[in-house]
Amino acid sequence: MKDKWTRYEYRTARTRAHIKEAAHGLPRLSVRRSLRYYYAQVIDDVKGTTLAVASSQEEAIKGKRVTCKSVKDAQAVGKLIAEKAIKAGVKQVVFDRGGRVYHGSVKALADAAREAGLKF
């Protein structure tokens, strides 16, 4: 049996392949979570550029934080990435959850981004 990290990399590659196939030229909202922080970025795969970036380390979120890694932090990152993406002219994206399950903090980030105006 392969180790945990290798299986995660396979899931990530498989998810990204399905997303690129179904995207039809739309930018991709990629979500990453480390042991302490959440990161989100809107990527245009056609041009190979990053259009917007947000993380839980930014001053807008960092000052209000109670604990290091909570669902509230994920919601704040989702709202912030949606605002930055709309400011960059992106209103519709495809959601790339990486190799993570769409549950908990990943789902909270996605829901907050939807409420802030992104469509996916």
Residue 57 has pLDDT above 70, yes or no: yes
Structure tokens that stand for 57 in this block: 């380390």
Three-point CA angle 88, 25, 102, nearest 5°: 80
How much is the pLDDT for 98?
Answer: 87
Average pLDDT over residues 58-72: 78
76 forms beta bridges with none
Amino acid (1-letter code) at residue 101: V
Residue 40 has pLDDT above 90, yes or no: yes
Residue 30 three-state SS: strand
- pLDDT grade for 70, boundaries at 50, 70 and 90: confident
Closest by CA position to 30, among listed 91, 112, 77, 94: 94
How much is the pLDDT for 66?
Answer: 65
- pLDDT grade for 52, boundaries at 50, 70 and 90: very high
- What structural domains does the chain harbor? 4-115 (3.30.420.100)
